[in-house]
Amino acid sequence: MGINGLSRSLLWCRLCVYAVKPAHRSTLIILVGMALGMLALTFASSALFRMFCEKTGHGGTTQVATLMPTRIENRVITIRFNADTQPQLPWQFKPLQQEIQVKAGEIGLAFYHGKNLSPHHTVGMATYNVTPHKAGIYFNKVECFCFLEQHLEGSQETDFPVQFFINPDIVKDPTMDDVDTITLSYTFFQLKKF
């Protein structure tokens, strides 16, 4: 478009605003402002949706613990573990335990095992969720390998820990009475460094 084309467009736009009757000028300005606002929201929608999921547990998004629980309830919940790997990432990734049982408010610790099947250095990042999705708001991670990208040298193996607890307030929520098993699922994706 160039400088001349841009200046002509701006001049034309300015003339359009002044060509509109004064009574309709404010309406035009409001409509243009709303259009620009909607455009800005489309760019921010991904970040806004991620914040919404983190706050509400939507889609099984777990919480990141800022405080440790102060009480332990008698309700026992079985935590099952699942592991998947994107086909482009040459890793073997699996839980070291199929399930554990924890009381609401009790700190749980589980391990996943990863092995780089290639002879080259690779970088992976894990995404996560829990099912049933409604349990995400009560599942709190204290420490997790999923918070940071993971680097494995060629043929390197390592164990990945995850420390968590179920918020003891789960016992006060009648919509959670039917939840006695929660599945924690991770999927590792390859990160390409440019």
CATH of the domain at 154: 2.60.370.10
The confidence score (pLDDT) of residue 73 equals 96
- DSSP SS3 for 180: coil
Residues 49 and 98 in one domain: no
Closest CA to 116 of 158, 161, 160, 162: 158
Q: How many domains does the chain have?
A: 2
The confidence score (pLDDT) of residue 20 equals 59
Q: Spell out a b/e string for 170-179, using b for 16 or more CB atoms within 10 Å of the CB, else e.
A: bbeeeebeeb
The DSSP element (H or E) to which 46 belongs, if any, is helix 22-56
Residues 96 and 150 in one domain: yes
Residues 39 and 74 in one domain: no
For the record, the structure tokens of 6 come out as 């841009």
DSSP 78: E
| Domain termination site, one of 41, 56, 71 | 56
Residues 69 and 109 in one domain: yes
Residues 75 and 167 in one domain: yes
Residues 63 and 154 in one domain: yes
The confidence score (pLDDT) of residue 66 equals 81
Question: Which amino acid, one-letter code, is at 55?
Answer: K
Residues 166 and 120 in one domain: yes
Which range has the worst mean pLDDT, 29-33, 43-47, 48-52, 121-125? 48-52
Residues 108 and 172 in one domain: yes
Residues 84 and 177 in one domain: yes
Range(s) of the domain holding residue 90: 59-190
pLDDT grade for 194, boundaries at 50, 70 and 90 = very low
